[in-house]
Structure 1
C-alpha cells in the first residue's frame, strides 16, 4: 500500500473510531462540537481523496496544504473536547496521536511532491 493510500485509510479509521465516541458526547455538545469534529474529519478525508486522484502536482500540493489547515483546526476541537470533559485523557491521547500521525503522513506526501 502506498503512503497516499495509507493516509486515506488511516483517516478513514480515525473517522470510524470517532463516530461512536462522538455519539457519547453530552447533549449540549453533541450537536455542535461533536458534529463539527465529525464534519472536519470527513472534510480531511475528502481532501485526501481529491489529492490522490488529482493529476496536477500543484493541485495536489494545494489540497495537502488545506489538509494541514483542517488538521490544525481539528486539533483544537479535540483539545476543547478534552477540556470540557467530553472525552477522557486516554481517548484524548489516542485521538491526538492518530491526528499527529496523519499530519506527518500528509507532510511526507507534500514533501514528496516538492522533490
Structure 2
C-alpha cells in the first residue's frame, strides 16, 4: 500500500519541460493563439444569445473572421517574410472590430459586453502590433 501511494505521487509530478518546448510556449505565436482562443470562446458565448436569424448571418461573419485570424496567425508564424501576413492579420482584427460595433448598434450586445469584447480585441491588436514592430527591427 505504501509503495502504491508513492507511485501515485510520482505520476502526479509534472515532467521537466525542455528549452525548446519552453520557447515554443512563450513564443509570440503561442501567446497570440491563446488570446485568439479566449476571444473565440467569449464570442461564442455572446453570439449564442443573439436572435436566431442573426446567428446565421452576422454571427457567421464573426466566426469566419475569427477563423481567418487564426489561420493568418499560423501563416505569419510559418512564413519567412512575416510582414504581409501580419498586416493581413491586423486588417482581419480591424474587420472583427467593425462586426462587434455593428452588433452593438443593432442592440444584440450591451455596452458592457461591447467593452469586454473590445478589450479582448484591443489586447490582440497590441500583440500583433508588437509582433510587427519586432519583425521590422529584425529586417
TM-score, structure 1 normalization: 0.91
Query: Structure 1 regions of 5+ residues with no counterpart?
Result: none
Which residue in the other structure is 1:6 paired with?
Answer: 31
Q: Distance in 1 between matches of 2:45 and 2:119?
A: 18
Q: Deviations over 1:70-113 (max 9, x none)?
A: 11111110001011111111111011011111011001101111
Alignment of 1:1-115 (within 5 A): 1-54=26-79, 56=80, 58=81, 60-115=82-137
Deviation, structure 1 residue 2: 2.3
Q: Distance in 1 between matches of 2:127 and 2:108?
A: 28
Larger Rg: 2
- Number of matched pairs: 112
Which protein has greater RCO, CA pairs closer than 8 Å, 6+ apart? 1
Structure 2 segments unaligned to the other structure (5+ residues): 1-25
CA distance in 2 between counterparts of 1:42 and 1:16 reads 12
Partners in 1 of 2:69 and 2:46 — Cα distance? 18
Root mean square deviation of aligned Cα: 1.1
In structure 2, how many angstroms separate the alpha carbons of the residues matched to 1:66 and 1:19? 23
Q: Which has the higher helix share?
A: 1
Structure 1 runs of 4+ aligned residues shifted over 6 Å read none
